[in-house]
Amino acid sequence: MVAGIDGSQEAIHAALWAADEALHRNVPLRLVCVTKPKYPSTEEYYEDVRRARASLRLAQNAIEATGKQVKIETDVVAGLPGTALVAASWDAVMVCVGSVGIGRYARSILGSTAAYVAENAQCTVAIIRPPDEGQPEDINWILVAVTDAPDNDAVVEHAMSEAQLRHAPVLALGDSRDREKLQRKVEMWKQRFPDVHVYPVAGEADVADFLRKHRERVQLAVIGAAEAGEAERIVGSYYRGIVHHAGSSVIIVRSRASGTD
């Protein structure tokens, strides 16, 4: 399990989220901070490395303060952040990065590093939004589309596992043209995960469109690798504590063997 660290509160929040994943999977959590690939002086190099190590300490301290018994490894890597995290993905079950929207355009909303990792990583990727300040403590869904795509069973299974881990209900989107088929699939998943509450929603099986049209609180959307380009729309715009439209953290499920997981 890899979490990208850059000294921001968003990255620490993402690392705390990743710690739950690592503990659940019984794997170490590797915190990675990326420094510049080259420097004009040795003084700037040592200062950047010092900042990176300090950022890693802050993230590690935050995780350890929770009391969770997860093994933590830290690493300072030189290079471009996106490229370095994609390289780390070859040996990871998941790469987790934080994201916060800061501009009008999708790449600014998601962040160039998160967008690059989402589309190029060799494993599953989680892009974690900061908590929405001032939002009511009501139902906080996990969202997934139930389709006939070749990788959909793996995507839905991942969503159900996250719901089980985070004690959350699932909204299962399906095509309104075949409500009975959606209901059959939902019943199958309920049997496999009897402690997870699943609610079918027949309409368009499009996660990004659902978030754009509805105001339900969604903590996490789970999509397949083929939809990685939709991550910008799913994460949504978030600026100075104001949510401009509904959005959520997102997991892009991917396996090395088939491009999906």
pLDDT at 134: 57
Token code pair at residue 114 = 């998160």
pLDDT at 244: 43
pLDDT at 129: 86
| CATH architecture of the domain formed by 2-128 | 3-Layer(aba) Sandwich (3.40)
Fold agreement between 2-128 and 141-252: yes
| Cα–Cα distance measured from residue 221 to residue 142, given in angstroms and rounded to the nearest whole number | 6
Q: Whole-structure pTM over 0.85, yes or no?
A: yes
In a structure prediction context, what are the per-residue pLDDT tens digits for the chain, which is 261 residues long? Answer: 999 999 989 899 999 999 999 999 999 999 999 999 999 999 999 999 999 999 999 999 999 999 999 999 999 999 999 999 999 999 999 999 997 543 333 333 346 788 889 999 999 999 998 876 655 556 789 999 999 999 999 999 999 999 999 999 999 999 888 899 999 999 999 999 999 999 999 988 899 889 888 878 899 999 999 999 888 888 864 433 334 444 589 999 997 654 444
- Tell me the CATH class for 141-252: alpha beta
Sequence spans of domains, the chain: 2-128, 141-252
Residue type, 257: A
Pairing of strands 124-128, 249-253: antiparallel
pLDDT at 150: 93
- Chain-centroid distance of CA 89 in Å reads 14
